[in-house]
């Protein structure tokens, strides 16, 4: 059996830490870099190797995975001087699992190809729970051969994995996911706010409606957190606002009107104005109790 390829994992935050941990448990040698070293400490304690830059980690691996915050972080990490594209080994496979811009994904793919590298955009869905339980949904854009090469690695981190099309297609699929998720958050928050205002026990209402036609992953998993006042981030408000911005821009470029998403954007902007950008997306429910 061929040895498992060494992997550089860049971005060990709420989700990346669990994802990298699964790769280590599967027998991969893992090299890590994160802007805040303390967030990588559990991985380092388990045997991961620290590097002082993303490019430095990439030099030691055959596969490079990034799980970052914003498109500007992705662009700098891949395309900046001394970044991943500059320093990765020839023939390496680059996998960006950040939710980012489809246009940027295509740019990275072109730059990688020019240097003899393969690149995939492979954003995920499932939040901190999906990352922790290794059952992420992974939406992939890129060449079929690169996808087949990455599939054993994806299978360590997720369960629902699909190649959506060429470079950028994974990001477009994730935008569809985020549109459904953002608008769906508004729906269940309004439903539970309505139940509370009507004098019902919102927890009892949640138990009744979450398993029926109104049910969703967010209602099932985030509704109880919101009702308990637990707004710790599984997925940050600042990140859903970033994703909504990308989706709105992409839709505009295609001439598509998305009024439901426009509503979600306005509401999450109000959430940010309250100073809740660093909380979990379920804090939207609190907005309804403070209006």
According to DSSP, the residues that pair with 10 across neighbouring strands are 33, 66
**Residues 108 and 235 placed together within one structural domain of the fold:** no
Are residues 18 and 137 both part of a single domain? Answer: yes
Residue 235: predicted pLDDT: 84
**182 and 256 part of one domain:** yes
CA distance 184 to 178: 9
Q: Which of 121, 138, 166 is the last residue of a domain?
A: 166
| 193 and 97 within one domain | no
Evaluate whether 35 touches 17 at the Cβ level (below 8 Å). Answer: no
Biggest distance spanned by C-alpha atoms of the chain: 64
Helix axes 169-197, 217-227, angle to 10 degrees: 50
In the chain, the number of structural domains is 2
Residue 251 lies in a domain: yes
Same domain, 218 and 267: yes
Active site residues: 174
pLDDT recorded at residue 1: 40
The list of the chain residues with pLDDT below 50 reads 1
Residue identified by tokens 């969703």 is 216
pLDDT of residue 113: 98
Q: Is residue 214 a part of any domain in this protein?
A: yes
Judge contact between 66 and 88, C-beta under 8 A: no
Based on the fold, state whether residues 80 and 212 are members of the same structural domain: no
Do 227 and 274 belong to one domain? yes
Residue 290: per-residue pLDDT: 83
Cα separation of 112 and 282, whole Å?
A: 37
233 in a domain, yes or no? Answer: yes
**CATH number, domain with residue 227:** 1.10.1040.10
Q: Which of 166, 194, 214 is the last residue of a domain?
A: 166
**Are residues 186 and 154 part of one domain?**
no
Indicate whether 158 and 251 sit together in one domain.
no
Domain boundary among 166, 192, 217: 166
**2 within a domain of the structure (yes/no):** no
> Is 161 found in the same domain as 26?
yes
Q: Are residues 24 and 161 in the same domain?
A: yes
Range of the domain at 50: 7-166
Which residues on adjacent β-strands are paired with residue 96?
66, 121
């Amino acid at each position: 059996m061929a040895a498992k390829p060494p992997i550089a994992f860049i971005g060990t935050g709420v989700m990346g830490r669990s994802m990298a941990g699964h790769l280590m448990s599967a027998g991969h040698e893992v090299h890590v870099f994160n802007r805040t070293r303390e967030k990588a400490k559990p991985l380092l304690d388990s045997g991961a190797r620290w590097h002082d830059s993303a490019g430095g980690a990439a030099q030691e691996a055959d596969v490079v995975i990034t799980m970052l915050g914003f498109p500007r972080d992705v662009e700098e990490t891949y395309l900046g001087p001394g970044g991943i594209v500059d320093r990765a080994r020839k023939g390496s496979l680059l996998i960006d699992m950040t939710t980012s811009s489809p246009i940027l994904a295509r740019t990275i793919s072109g730059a990688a190809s020019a240097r003899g590298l393969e690149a995939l955009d492979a954003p995920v869905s499932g939040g901190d729970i999906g990352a922790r339980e290794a059952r992420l949904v992974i939406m992939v854009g890129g060449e079929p051969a690169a996808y087949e090469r990455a599939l054993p690695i994806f299978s360590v981190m997720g369960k629902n994995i699909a190649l959506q099309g060429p470079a950028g297609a994974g990001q477009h699929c994730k935008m569809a996911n985020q549109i459904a998720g953002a608008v769906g958050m508004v729906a269940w928050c309004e439903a539970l706010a309505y139940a509370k205002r009507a004098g019902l026990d919102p927890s009892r209402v949640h138990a009744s409606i979450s398993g029926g036609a109104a049910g969703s992953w967010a209602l099932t998993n985030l509704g109880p957190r919101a009702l308990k006042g637990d707004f710790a981030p599984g997925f940050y408000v600042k990140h859903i606002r970033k994703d909504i911005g990308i989706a709105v821009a992409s839709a505009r470029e295609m001439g598509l009107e998305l009024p439901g998403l426009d509503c979600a954007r306005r509401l999450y902007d109000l959430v940010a104005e309250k100073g809740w950008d660093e909380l979990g997306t379920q804090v939207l429910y609190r907005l309804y109790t403070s209006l």
